[in-house]
Structure 1
Amino acid sequence: MTLKSVFADLHIHIGRTEGGLPVKITGARNLTFDNIVQEAAHRKGIRMIGIIDAHSPPVQEEIARNLDEGRYETLSGGGIRYRDTTAILGVEIEVKGAGRGVAHLLAYFPDLDVMRTFSGWMSRHVKNMQLSTQRFHGDLRELEGKVADLGGLLVPAHVFTPFKSVYGSAVDRMSDLLDPDQLAGVELGLSSDSTMADRISELEGFTFLTNSDAHSLPKIGREYNELLISEPCFHELKRALHRQEGRRVLANYGLDPKLGKYHRTRCLNCEELLSPTESGRCEYCGSTKMVRGVADRIDQLADRPTHHPDHRAPYIYQVPLEFIPKLGPKTLQKLLSRFGTEMEILHRASLADIAELAGASVATHIRLARERRLEFEEGGGGSYGRIRSVGKDQGVSGDSSV
Structure 2
Amino acid sequence: MKQYFVDLHIHIGRTMDGSPVKITAARDLTLANILDECLYRKGINVIGVVDAGSPKVQSDLIRLVEAGSLAPLDKGGLSYLGKAVLILGAEVETREKSGGKAHFVCFFPTLEKMKNFTSVMAKYIKNINLSSQKAEITAEKLFNIVDGLGGIFVPAHAFTPHKSLFGNCAARLTEVFSQRAIAKIYAIELGLSSDTYLADRLADLGGITFLSNSDAHSLPKIGREYNVIDMQQANYEELLMALKREKGRKVTANYGLDPRLGKYHRTHCLVCEKIAGGAPPVLRCEYCGSDKIVKGVLDRLEEIATYREPVSPDHRPPYHYQVPLSFVPGVGRKTVDKLLQCFGTEMEILHSASEEDLEKVAGKKIASLLCLARSGKAELTAGGGGRYGKMLIREE
TM-score range, shorter-chain basis? over 0.9
- After superposition, residues 111-126 of structure 1 pair within 5 angstroms as 111-126=110-125
Matching residue of 1:397: none
Matching residue of 1:285: 288
Matching residue of 2:344: 340
- Specify the SS of the correspondent of 2:40: helix
Ranges in structure 1 where 5+ consecutive residues have no aligned partner = 394-402
1:365–1:390 contact (8 Å) kept in structure 2: no
In the TM superposition, residue 276 of structure 1 has moved relative to its aligned partner by 7.2
- Match of 1:286, as an amino acid? G
State the alpha-carbon separation in 2 of the partners of residues 253 and 43 from structure 1: 17
State the alpha-carbon separation in 2 of the partners of residues 66 and 134 from structure 1: 25
In the TM superposition, residue 61 of structure 1 has moved relative to its aligned partner by 0.9
Q: 1:186/1:262 Cα in 2 relative to 1: closer, same or farther (>3 Å)? A: same
Larger deviation, residues 69-78 vs 361-370: 361-370
In the TM superposition, residue 236 of structure 1 has moved relative to its aligned partner by 0.6
Larger deviation, residues 102-111 vs 279-288: 279-288
State the alpha-carbon separation in 2 of the partners of residues 102 and 356 from structure 1: 49
State the alpha-carbon separation in 2 of the partners of residues 279 and 206 from structure 1: 28
- Match of 2:160, as an amino acid? T
- After superposition, residues 231-380 of structure 1 pair within 5 angstroms as 231-274=233-276, 275=278, 281-304=284-307, 305-380=309-384
Larger deviation, residues 177-186 vs 332-341: 177-186
State the alpha-carbon separation in 2 of the partners of residues 338 and 5 from structure 1: 23
Match of 1:188 among 190, 196, 215: 190
In the TM superposition, residue 139 of structure 1 has moved relative to its aligned partner by 5.6
State the alpha-carbon separation in 1 of the partners of residues 361 and 46 from structure 2: 29
Answering whether residue 225 of structure 2 is matched by residue 223 of structure 1, we say yes
In the TM superposition, residue 174 of structure 1 has moved relative to its aligned partner by 2.2
1:88–1:108 contact (8 Å) kept in structure 2: yes
In the TM superposition, residue 175 of structure 1 has moved relative to its aligned partner by 2.2
Larger deviation, residues 69-78 vs 336-345: 69-78
Answering whether residue 211 of structure 2 is matched by residue 209 of structure 1, we say yes
Return the TM-score normalized by structure 2: 0.95
Ranges in structure 2 where 5+ consecutive residues have no aligned partner = none
- Match of 2:84, as an amino acid? T
2:280–2:302 contact (8 Å) kept in structure 1: no
Matching residue of 2:23: 25
State the alpha-carbon separation in 2 of the partners of residues 195 and 281 from structure 1: 25
Root mean square deviation of aligned Cα: 1.6
State the alpha-carbon separation in 1 of the partners of residues 293 and 286 from structure 2: 11
Larger deviation, residues 356-365 vs 263-272: 263-272
- Specify the SS of the correspondent of 1:273: coil
1:108–1:154 contact (8 Å) kept in structure 2: yes
Matching residue of 1:399: none
2:267–2:283 contact (8 Å) kept in structure 1: no
1:98–1:170 contact (8 Å) kept in structure 2: no
In the TM superposition, residue 227 of structure 1 has moved relative to its aligned partner by 0.2
1:261–1:383 contact (8 Å) kept in structure 2: yes
State the alpha-carbon separation in 2 of the partners of residues 196 and 18 from structure 1: 39
Q: What whole-Å deviation, never above 9, does each CA across 1:320-363 have from its counterpart, x for those lacking one?
A: 00011111111111111010101111111121121121111211
In the TM superposition, residue 261 of structure 1 has moved relative to its aligned partner by 1.1
Larger deviation, residues 381-390 vs 231-240: 381-390
Matching residue of 2:49: 51
- Match of 2:378, as an amino acid? L
Identity of aligned residues (%): 49
Q: What whole-Å deviation, never above 9, does each CA across 1:52-102 have from its counterpart, x for those lacking one?
A: 110111110111121112121111121111131111000011111352220
Larger deviation, residues 314-323 vs 94-103: 94-103
- Specify the SS of the correspondent of 2:301: helix
In the TM superposition, residue 147 of structure 1 has moved relative to its aligned partner by 1.3
1:327–1:358 contact (8 Å) kept in structure 2: no
State the alpha-carbon separation in 1 of the partners of residues 99 and 279 from structure 2: 22
- Match of 1:239, as an amino acid? M
1:326–1:361 contact (8 Å) kept in structure 2: no
- Specify the SS of the correspondent of 1:286: coil
- Specify the SS of the correspondent of 1:91: strand
- Specify the SS of the correspondent of 1:368: helix
In the TM superposition, residue 128 of structure 1 has moved relative to its aligned partner by 1.0
1:94–1:133 contact (8 Å) kept in structure 2: yes
State the alpha-carbon separation in 2 of the partners of residues 279 and 151 from structure 1: 41
Return the TM-score normalized by structure 1: 0.93
State the alpha-carbon separation in 2 of the partners of residues 175 and 361 from structure 1: 51
- After superposition, residues 160-199 of structure 1 pair within 5 angstroms as 160-178=159-177, 179-199=181-201
1:331–1:358 contact (8 Å) kept in structure 2: yes
- Match of 2:132, as an amino acid? T
Larger deviation, residues 126-135 vs 239-248: 126-135
State the alpha-carbon separation in 2 of the partners of residues 23 and 262 from structure 1: 24
Q: 1:142/1:270 Cα in 2 relative to 1: closer, same or farther (>3 Å)? A: closer
